[in-house]
Chain A
Amino acid sequence: MKTTKSTFLQILFVAMVFITSSVTAQKLIDKKGKITFEASEKTFEPVKATNASVTAILNTDTGEMASLALMKSFRFKNSLMEEHFNENYIESETYPKAKFRGELLDFDYSNLGENTTSVTVDGKIELRGKEKQIRTTLNIKKSNGSIIMQGSFKVTPADFDIEIPSIVRKKIANEIIVYLDFNLQ
């Protein structure tokens, strides 16, 4: 009698683990997310680059989010600027990527509709071995089963210990605006 009871409990336990894991694995992914940053100053050549193969993952149950951008995938219009970005400022050979980990606050996937809702995201960006807390508002909506997420935030070169030489300081804005555009499926 005792043995049947314990087998029954074991089966129940296995079944519960199975059910919970299949429920929590609600992840939406974007492999081709877009991030553009701009640090342009008026009257000088635009300092702007876009990365169109950013990875973003959202857990729709918990609101947890992760994103990754490879530095070499940022494309500038001017090839010399791209070279300086990689070699002098970001040092992409040593620090090849930027990572974000955070969560959408008070996020409820079931309440999300076709109309744009504002959701606060809070998390940390890691770049060049430095971490920076980011909190911003994103515009989120559902569209054909996927989630469209757009927003922007500001960072400074000093946040990541990037030194801008005085000779080009006038040409690069102090505050860098980062725009993101994800389509999570």
Chain B
Amino acid sequence: MRKKIYMLLGVLIIGLISAFLVYNYVFNSEHRDIANEKATVSLSAKDIFEQFQTNEALATTNYLDQVIEMKGGITSIEDNDVVLSNGVQVSFNSQETLKFQKGEQITIKGRCVGYDELLELVKIDQSTLIK
């Protein structure tokens, strides 16, 4: 009899713990860690900029929210941002831009958040330097 009660208690506790874990997983899950995600595509900054300029809707479907690896020459530097090939604005998480120089070729990885037609720039956030 006692054994049965212990077993029931055990099942109940395990049930409660797993319910809590599932709740926590669903409602308090961590944000995406872009730096540790694999890039789904790799292309040049010029290429992605041209794709957004020719067909924005299609490029949005293809690249929005995707982790992209991208190569390009730095055309301007501002705070935590650099512009690659005059067409892609790349925002870094940290002060990584301090060591960059204009004209330098870099490869980055980041998340595409869309096209800004006021500035005529494709925007990439949460970027990290690859090389």
Contacts and interface: CB of A to CB of B under 8 A. Distances in A.
Interface stretch (A36-44, A77-85, A163-171): A77-85
B50 interface: no
Interface in A83-113: 86, 92-93, 96-97
Nearest to A93: B64
B29 A80 contact: yes
A73 B113 contact: yes
Contacts, number: 57
A47 interface: no
Interface in A26-59: 29, 31-32, 53, 55, 57
Interface in B99-123: 111, 113-119, 123
The main secondary structure of chain B at its interface with chain A is: mixed
Contact of B65 (A57, A68, A72, A79): A72
A155 interface: no
A70 B116 contact: yes
Given A79-B30, A80-B27, A70 B114 contact: yes
B60 A93 contact: yes
Given A79-B29, A80-B26, A93-B61, A57 B118 contact: yes
A53 B125 contact: yes
Nearest to A75: B31
Interface string B30-46: 11100000000000000
B76 to A, nearest CB: 10
B81 A31 contact: yes
Contacts of B117: 68
Given A73-B113, A79-B32, A53 B27 contact: no
A72 B113 CA distance: 5
B95 interface: no
Interface in A61-76: 66-68, 70-73
Among B27, B28, B91, B114, the one with the most A-chain Cβ atoms within 10 Å of its Cβ is B114
A66 B118 contact: yes
- The 9 A-B residue pairs with the shortest CB-CB distance, nearest first, are A72-B113, A70-B114, A96-B114, A79-B31, A55-B118, A70-B113, A68-B118, A73-B113, A79-B29
